Amino acid sequence: MKVLYVLSQDSGGLPHYAAELANAMSHHAEVVVLKPFETTADELFDDAVDRVEAFENLDIAATDLYAGDWNPVAAFRAALSYRSLARIESFDPDIVHFTSPASMFPQVQLFTALYGIDDDYPVIETYHDVLPNKLLRRGEELAASEPLSNVLLDNVMKLGHRALPALDRAHTVVHTETNRDTLVYNGFDRSDVSVVPHGMYELFSQYDHADVSVEPRTVLCFGQIVPTKAHDIVAKAIPLVAERIGDVTCVVAGSGDLPEEAERVIDAHPELFEVENRFVPNEEVGAYFRRARVSVLPHQRQNGHSGVMTISYAYGTPVVAADVADFPRLVEESGCGVVVPMDDPEPLADALATVLTDDDRWREMRRNTQRLREEFSWANVAREHVEIYRDVLDDRPERTVAARPRSR
């Protein structure tokens, strides 16, 4: 079996997801990845994965969209480079799998349809974040804190997607039952959508941080800083935690603009915070999570899975998360952490103080993360994808092949 993955995003967590999936699948099939010239995960792909630098970098991260910091002319030129999707024919894959929806990037959907890729090959898409097909409103489908410019952009993108030629998908992958329900609401056939949990990120373990150990009073707030995350609530909660338990340090690490209210609190309590306001390179990620006693996920809007949650679990770090989307199931019901409303610093402070001081409960949460690491390993994720690919190929007998382990 030959599987060709199309990676359309050069920054954020999607390249890491593609690398983990491609690496795990290379034990079962021949794997090709069409990707931008440079991504945040380039050094993480295994040698067994054939990487093809096919697309110019769009250089638009989520933080850039929120800040309005991007060049439309450069973006248009990069979008045209997706004509390279025509190269798929030269690889003659059995499966073409978009690691994020083609509709997420209009140029991908356009050239996929224009070249008839969905006619010539079984096309599979993975949806990481699913919104309903209707007008998106602040405080309803979107976070109340969503900037107006992004509300407009999200709605324009949805309209633009509908104006482009529809693709004939052979199958769709999502990470949660909630995501599948939303796709069914959007018109997808339930039998054509499979739920495959997001694997636990294992890539960062290749970097040695054995000299870093858990600091008993350290809270980590890791990831892109965007308006849909309540960094202001986290900042306000930390002095309250200090009042309850004494010494505490909150490490804020990630790129983006901190809310003014968060900056005000941090400036007033510099002894309680460490701020690394930058993109954290792959080789440094593990050190942050090994230090942390607890990881806080302040999402006010989350319509899919959280990469930061999976990194936290990979390092055995319990989580305090917002009570939105699937966090109640993945965090609290799993026994790996606590969920709280993310619009009030008081309950967040209570939860953080508990995890920082209750050693027995903390150790139990760490044990539960180990159970999830085994359940959601990339080896298991790859096996589930193999079954999906086989089922899809069985429906297209002219392309049926056997998945076979590759010699390493």
Report how far residue 340's alpha carbon sits from residue 320's, in angstroms, rounded to the nearest whole number.
7
pLDDT band at 334 (very low <50, low <70, confident <90, very high): very high
DSSP state of 211: T
pTM of the model: 0.85
Q: Are strands 273-276 and 337-340 parallel, antiparallel or unpaired?
A: unpaired
Neighbour-count burial of 162, counting CB atoms closer than 10 A to its CB (0-12 exposed, 13-18 middle, 19+ buried): exposed
Residue 251 bridge partners (DSSP)? 220, 274
Q: What is the pLDDT of residue 145?
A: 62
Q: What is the pLDDT of residue 204?
A: 84
Q: Do 200 and 16 contact (CB within 8 A), yes or no?
A: no
pLDDT at 82 over 50: yes
Residue 171 bridge partners (DSSP)? 124
Query: What does the domain layout of the chain look like in residue ranges?
Result: 2-199+377-399, 205-375
Q: What is the pLDDT of residue 24?
A: 97
Number of neighbouring beta carbons within 10 Å of residue 385: 24
Q: Do 390 and 3 contact (CB within 8 A), yes or no?
A: no
Please determine whether the domains at 2-199+377-399 and 205-375 fall in the same fold group of CATH: yes
CATH no., domain 205-375: 3.40.50.2000
Q: Does domain 2-199+377-399 have CATH number 3.40.50.2000?
A: yes
Q: What is the pLDDT of residue 306?
A: 85
- Of residues 75 and 219, more confidently modeled: 219
- Of residues 403 and 91, more confidently modeled: 91
- Half-sphere exposure of residue 43: CA atoms within 13 angstroms, side-chain side: 6
Residues 6+ apart with CB under 8 A from 162: none
Report how far residue 122's alpha carbon sits from residue 170's, in angstroms, rounded to the nearest whole number.
5
Tens-place pLDDT, residues 290-308: 999 999 999 987 666 788 9
Q: What is the pLDDT of residue 68?
A: 57
DSSP state of 332: I
Give pairs for 246-249: CB < 8 Å, separation 24+: 246/217, 247/217, 248/217, 248/218, 248/219, 248/272, 248/352, 248/356, 249/215, 249/217, 249/218, 249/219, 249/273, 249/274
Indicate the average pLDDT of the chain.
Answer: 88
Cα–chain-centroid distance for residue 177? 16
Tens-place pLDDT, residues 360-407: 999 999 999 999 999 999 999 999 999 999 999 998 766 545 444 444
Q: Do 298 and 220 contact (CB within 8 A), yes or no?
A: no
